[in-house]
Amino acid sequence: MEAAAISPRAGVRLDRTKLDFELARRGISAQELSSVIGVHAVVLSRARNGHAVREATFRKIANGLLAIPVMDGAVELLAEPVS
Average pLDDT over the chain reads 87
How many angstroms separate the Cα of 58 from the Cα of each of 19, 26, 74, 77?
Answer: 11, 18, 24, 27
Q: What is the arithmetic mean of pLDDT over 48-53?
A: 94
| Amino acid 37: pLDDT | 96
Task: Tally the residues of the chain.
Answer: 83
Q: Is the pLDDT of residue 44 over 90?
A: yes
Q: Is the pLDDT of residue 6 over 60?
A: no
pTM over 0.75, yes/no: yes
Q: What is the arithmetic mean of pLDDT over 58-65?
A: 96
| Amino acid 8: pLDDT | 56
